[in-house]
Amino acid sequence: MMNSMTHSSASHTLPESECTDQVVGDILSSWRYDISGLNPEMRRDYEHHLEECSHCSHRQQLHRTIDVVLISLSTVSTFVFLLALAIIHKFAPLQHFDVVRMYTHNLSFVLSLESAAVMGLLVSLLTWILVAVATPVPVYMKGVALEQARVLQDRIPEELRDRLPKIS
């Protein structure tokens, strides 16, 4: 109502940065634009706002991207540390040399590498769990996966498609 004078100049300089409803925008912001945990009735209003407010929908996309990047990085690092542990265990038996001094020297090296890999693995797993629990990534990923599956299903030849389970 009152911003009819300022609106034209502000919206021209920063077209994306103005929320159409600051109260709803602030609530959404405090939730990191995650409304997946709300019940359907409450969600409707916020979904409506996200549809009409480009500021909030952009923020929502940004936050979901951050979540996906975090979970991807922690997934990759979990596998890297698992691989490192597997490699350490595969090559540790090679330390059985005749020279005892060398054996003990290499053993301690292997052990410290192993403890570093175990630490890294624990940190990666903890990050993964925190991201999965604290963000809507599981819901979001499920949606993306279903969408991909649907796209794939459409590309599969007709005769094959009938034999596969249907994705609704």
Residue numbers at the binding site for Zn ion (CB under 5 A): 19, 25, 53, 55-56
Distance CA 131, CA 71 (A): 6
Distance CA 18, CA 9 (A): 12
Task: Report the nearest approach of Zn ion to the CB of residue 46 (Å).
Answer: 10
The smaller minimum CB distance to Zn ion, of residues 56 and 137, is found at 56
Measuring CA to CA, which residue among 92, 150, 144 is closest to residue 117? 92
For 58, residues 6+ apart whose C-beta sits below 8 A from its C-beta are 16
Measuring CA to CA, which residue among 118, 133, 31, 124 is closest to residue 72? 124
Task: Report the nearest approach of Zn ion to the CB of residue 53 (Å).
Answer: 3
Measuring CA to CA, which residue among 145, 119, 137 is closest to residue 71? 137
Q: What are phi and psi of 49, to 5 degrees?
A: -65, -45
The smaller minimum CB distance to Zn ion, of residues 53 and 71, is found at 53
Task: Report the nearest approach of Zn ion to the CB of residue 7 (Å).
Answer: 15
Task: Report the nearest approach of Zn ion to the CB of residue 56 (Å).
Answer: 3
Task: Report the nearest approach of Zn ion to the CB of residue 3 (Å).
Answer: 15
The smaller minimum CB distance to Zn ion, of residues 56 and 121, is found at 56
The smaller minimum CB distance to Zn ion, of residues 53 and 121, is found at 53
The smaller minimum CB distance to Zn ion, of residues 51 and 147, is found at 51
